[in-house]
Amino acid sequence: MGHLKMQMQTCLNPTEDEYKQCDAGYPNKTTIACMINGEIGAVLAVMRRNVRWGVHYMSDDDQSEHFLVQSLKTLRRQIFSWQNQWHTINPALYLQPFLDVIQSDETGAPITGVALSSVYKILTLDVIDQHTVNVGDTMHLVVDAVTSCRFEVTDPGSEEVVLMKILQVLLACVKGKASVMLSNQHICTIVNTSFRIVHQAGSKGELLQRIARYTMHELVRSIFSHLQNIDTTESAFINGSATLKQETSELNNEHALASRQLENGRLNSTHDAQPLSIGSATSTATDVTASLMDENTAIASSSNETDQYELQLMTEPYGVPCMVEIFHFLCSLLNVAEHMGVNPRSNTITFDEDVPLFALNLINSAIELGGSSFCRHPRLLSLIQDELFRNLMQFGLSMSPLVLSLVCSIVLNLYHHLRTELKLQLEAFFSCVILRLAQSKYGASYQQQEVVMEALVDFCRQKTFIVEMYANFDCDISCSNVFEDLANLLSKSAFPVNNPLSSIHVLALDGLIAVMQGMAERIGSRSLSSEQSPVNFEEYTPFWMERCDSFGDPNNWVPFVRQRKYIKRRLMIGADHFNRDVKKGLEFLQGTHLLPNKLDPQSVAYFLRYTAGLEKNLIGDFLGNHDEFCVQVLHEFARTFDFQDMTLATALRVFLETFRLPGESQKIHRVLEAFSERYYEQSPHILANKDAALVLSYSIILLNTDHHNVQVKKKMTEEDFIRNNRCINDGNDLPREFLSEIYHSICKNEIRTTPEPGFGFPEMTPSRWISLMHKSKKTAPFIVSDSRAYLDYDMFVLLSGPTIAAISVIFDNAENEEVCQTCMDGFLAIAKISAYYHLENVLDDLVVCLCKFITILDPFSVEDFVLAFGDDTKARIASETIFTIANRYGDYIRTGWKNILECILIFHKLGLLPTRLASDAADESQVTTETGLRRPNANSLSTHLQYITPKRSSGLISRFSQLLSLGAEEAQSIPTEEQLVAHQQATQAVHKCHIDNIFTESKFLQAESLMHLARALINAGAQHLIGSRISEDEDTSVFCLELLVAITLNNRDRVGLLWKGVYEHISNIVQSTVIPCALVERAIFGLLRICHRLLPYKENITDELLRSLQLVLKLDARVADAYYEQITQEVSRLVKANASHIRSQSGWRTISSLLSITARHLEASEVGFDALIFIMSDGAHLLPANYILCADVARQFAESRVGLVDRSIVALDLMANSVNCLEKWSINAKKAVKEEEVEKMLQDIGEMWFRLVQGLRKVCLDQREEVRNHALLSLQKCLTGAVGTHIPCELWLMCFDQVIFTVLDDLFEIAQAHSQKDYRNIEGTLVIAMTLLCKVFLQLLEELSQLEAFCKLWEGMLSRLEKCEKVKIRGRRSEKLQELVPELLKNTLLVMKSKGILVQSSGPGENSLWELTLLHMKNIVPALQSEVFPEQDSEQLLHQQIEPVESLGPDASISVPSNEKVGQDGAMIS
């Protein structure tokens, strides 16, 4: 039968066709009539089976029927005659006959069951809704009838069927559209009836039990689902009203009686007209429950104290009033343990967990559906805050895992919906339940610990849970550190100490990772600065006066809670000092400005009142001290309490909860006197004066000791207590009810005046709960955080260390790959947070923890290592995680690079890295062609370890190929399939690590991280210098060096950060190596490569880079000899590529030093000379900074006999041609603005020229004739070509003295001392030299003649001419020289005479120049005088003598070159 939809609209006119449907969509009249007719027939059919319901014949022959049958038949006759639509017909008309059957005690179970089915069918037809005529009264009739149902029991089965149908109808009433018309009282009655059936079903079949519980559950869900739609104004009507427990008598007195006494007839089966008692249930728990129902917890039980207004509320459409009653009833079901006198934690066998489980499930459903709407209704909220949570705290310690799990689920729902109203309750739950049960030292079973840990993990998965715990509790002075305690619990619970990994360890891991991942997800969503501004108190500020402007604005509450946390930390330290020495503790707090420099009673009182961790014994002794200051503190301490609206017993509980009452009577008196004064001050209603409060307080303390001390055998009775307190209220008696309430309160709940033994998490006692409830009224609001990371930095600093350690231990002990991967997810989250908050130390610790899982693998052979790594899932996962962290968060790794590098070196030794890892780490677009410089087996940057002697190939495939190919030569096992798989897994794992990215992306690393990475590489590479395993360490050192060079090249813009360390490392390698090896080769070429690549970009360190190349000069001779050809090639490339970037003299000095060495090296000389030609050819790269240096290198090449003579000739040409640069620079120098600059530049040019000719002078003495002669000609070119450079006369004098004269003197000596074999054709050399002398002298004659030293110069020249004319070669004079010298002298004298420099003197002493000339002329050619200075006309003589001079060409061996002639002024010009 389907549901028929109904809408509220005006129906059709009754005269219209009865088969038409109304506009509103209600069901067809005839259809409904037929359905009801069918139900009537069904009931009558069942009734006819019993003769009781047949036709009765009376004495007068009149026939009569039972009224139940008559009413049904009457309805059958009427239903087809009704003309109106069904929603306009009073439903009572067609429901009442069925209800009469249900209520009749004459019907049996089958008849009642069919009637209930008929009512259920009618209710579910959607005919009856809130718009139906008289629907409210009808629904009340239905509820009254069904809850008053009575029937005869024919068999147990039929009885259960009736009860199930009762539940079915009641549920339909609540779920139907007309349910809104039910009153609060009827909803209570329905729930009460349903619960009674639940209770009665305990002795029935399993099906009835399940259906009854299901119905109860659905009723609660349906009722509380409407809470969100109820207006808050409705709840105001019942604020402050007493518990509603009476049904209105006007409704149905008979129904009221039935609902109160289920076992006395109605809603019960009867047998032989006798009621069936519930007492047949034998369970103790069931009996107690029944008792509770009857006496305490029946929702609708009568009460004479209920006023008329409350009765009126119960008759209104249902809402908050019935929900309050139902919720209170559900909570009261949890009090069954108290009534039983059995602790539910003591024995889970004797205590039936069925009732609390049932109640907790219903409560959980109510909270799930009511949600945050409970906050809008104070009475419901009050029930949750006090009664419900108190019971949850009690059942939270249950030994039953089911109960405990359900309690935790409820608290999680409460946290989600109502945490703003349950701050202290949540703190108590975590401290007294979660933290207690999670530790076995408190006697919790493994199942309890597991359930609690699961619940804690669920809490941790809430996005804001951890933040709110920290902000509300850890940063609240008066609360415990819930966050720290939970974090410590999770981290400690994750440690499998001497035990295999269990579910609790994994759960703790899940909790830690949930916390970390929550923080990681919040990264980037912050609106406030992560920088924690330092909190400091420069002066005293009362810490208890700190207030937050707005707990809803993070800009206000975040700084506030941080400040409170700072205060709390200081207070905790102060408490620690206080517990050891009261005086020192107070002094410490004065030093931190939390107490004033001069102590006042109020500040000390607040410190004692609100500081957690203080020894309660010490507080009590301090407060009870007779010292005047302590007495003042005591009274200030009492004033911190608010005893308003508290009974004296409650106030005393709250007061004594904060300290331990001292043992001395005088101290007790002082403490109780201060308490009594404060209590009377705030509650003067019953007590006449403070003395009455003092006496009664004493009496309460005595009662508490008497009743709860096991050593007291005879306990004080209530009458004794009342009698002991007579006439204490200013001579009058206190009300008996007042004293009786105090007596029962103390007897029921002890006031504990001694602290609990041991430390840790206390149990929630009734006294402590009372104190908590009063404290909750004045506690700070609960801070609700959003998904932004306001306090994550503070929490992470506390949590990171223990979390890393815990995850590491779990990972170490885990066997399941899923658990291992979970650990890695946690590590990645920690790394992300550490990097975000720049916590380098945390990240380094994380890296160290991870790397140990790789470095711990240390098998005997390399192949075993590869197999071990390939088979070890944890090692592979750890590897991938390590390098993921390194690649993502390398900016914040510091010392951790050392451990990461150890892992890289392991993979390198295993041959698992790419063969060109380090080279690829540099920019491939700029890699120089170094392959020709590398040795065949040494060029691989992943140089592998040896099996025995030979180096291994780099790749895994080639290694296996080698392994297989050796099978014919030596017996060697073929790799198994497992080994191949292991190798493949190892390779794939390393490939996933992307190790090369660390170095290729190093240019993006932060400076400090980059420096640590470089330092790690340097330290790892330096081990071979002090280690004993030379071959292995050298391989490692080469690899590290290559990586170091790679990151240096990649960081050319920041090379200054790395250069010092890189240079020192290479320098150590070079200076400590005495034999050729791969390491020193890589060091030298790496250095050259760095210089080559960086010179174009880093002009500021060009000199430093080039200076570093001087290390090459420090190479051991054997090492240098082995590599100098390649070194020279690199230097040549460097020069050709970067000559324009080298500007300084120091840089060129290094280059020249390197090139000069090549002049003496056979293999390297050609390349070196090529570089020199590149620099000096056409003066392209000659600079004032390198001129002298290059000239010197060219001289060395000219002198070198390693190469051919042609190379020396070319070198001399380079020197000779370089004088053009000097002339060009001289011209440019004259354009300088400042005169002093011009002078300085010309002076420098002169110095360069002089150094050039000095260099040529040395080559002029070469043994090789061609070189020697060409050097003289080059010297002549440099001397004669220097006219345009404006060389100063003083420098020319030095040139004659130190260059020209010296060359001649040395040549004369060589000619006389050496054989022709050593110096071939020395005679020709002297001819060239003498010609050079005279030519240069005549060219500079005019300038030199003006000098004072000209006479000395002339004398030197004459003496060389004389010496040359007389020199003996091979023991005899040279004819060529004897012919040349007179001609040269004659030409010179003629020019000097023509210029008026040499004038004939008429007498001795008048002209020293003439006398000097005459003296030497006589020694050389005596006849020359008459020829040069005859008595004839001087001009004629001059013309006759000049002609032979002009005929001398450059090729003449004894003549002046032909390109010289006498000018008009008589000077020689070329």
Report the catalytic residues: 664
Two structure tokens written together for 471: 């902000």
Separation between Cα atoms, residue 630 and residue 624, nearest integer Å: 7
Distances (CA, A) of 66 to 58, 115, 153, 186, 890: 13, 16, 21, 31, 95
Planar angle of CA 205, 169, 162, nearest 5 degrees: 35
Complete DSSP assignment for 1243-1269: HHHHHHHHHHHHHHHHHTT-SSHHHHH
- For residue 1263, give the nearest of 1212, 1304, 1322 by alpha carbon: 1322
Residues 6+ apart with CB under 8 A from 1122: 1076
Residues across the chain: 1470
Residue pair 127/27 in contact (Cβ under 8 Å)? The answer is yes
- Sign for the pseudo-dihedral over CA of 587, 589, 591, 595: negative
Return the C-alpha torsion angle 297, 303, 309, 315, nearest 10: 60
Residue pair 244/323 in contact (Cβ under 8 Å)? The answer is no
Separation between Cα atoms, residue 731 and residue 168, nearest integer Å: 65
- For residue 151, give the nearest of 268, 52, 46 by alpha carbon: 268
Helix axes of 601-610 and 582-591: crossing angle, nearest 10 degrees:
100
Q: Which amino acid, 1410? A: W
Residue pair 113/165 in contact (Cβ under 8 Å)? The answer is yes
Residue pair 1323/1368 in contact (Cβ under 8 Å)? The answer is no
Complete DSSP assignment for 1451-1466: T-TTS--TT-EE-TTS
Q: How many CB atoms lie within 10 A of CB 1379?
A: 15
- For residue 712, give the nearest of 723, 704, 724 by alpha carbon: 704
Ramachandran angles phi, psi of 238, nearest 5°: -110, 5
Two structure tokens written together for 785: 């955080």
Helices and strands (H and E) in the chain: how many:
67, 9
- For residue 115, give the nearest of 74, 70, 143, 146 by alpha carbon: 146
Please name the helix (run of DSSP H) or strand (run of DSSP E) that holds residue 1010, with its range, or none: helix 1007-1021
Separation between Cα atoms, residue 1365 and residue 1377, nearest integer Å: 6
Planar angle of CA 1137, 1141, 1142, nearest 5 degrees: 105
Return the C-alpha torsion angle 906, 908, 910, 912, nearest 10: 120
Return the C-alpha torsion angle 252, 257, 259, 260, nearest 10: 140
Q: Which amino acid, 376? A: R
Complete DSSP assignment for 1368-1435: EETTEE-HHHHHHHHHHHHHHHHHHHHTTSS---SSTTS-HHHHHHHHHHHHH-TTHHHHHS-SS-HH
Alpha helix segments (H runs only) across 176-297: 184-200, 206-224, 232-236, 253-260, 284-292
Distances (CA, A) of 420 to 332, 472, 483: 24, 10, 17
617: three-class secondary structure by DSSP? helix
Two structure tokens written together for 46: 């069942």
Separation between Cα atoms, residue 667 and residue 701, nearest integer Å: 14
Separation between Cα atoms, residue 293 and residue 285, nearest integer Å: 12
Q: How many CB atoms lie within 10 A of CB 727?
A: 11
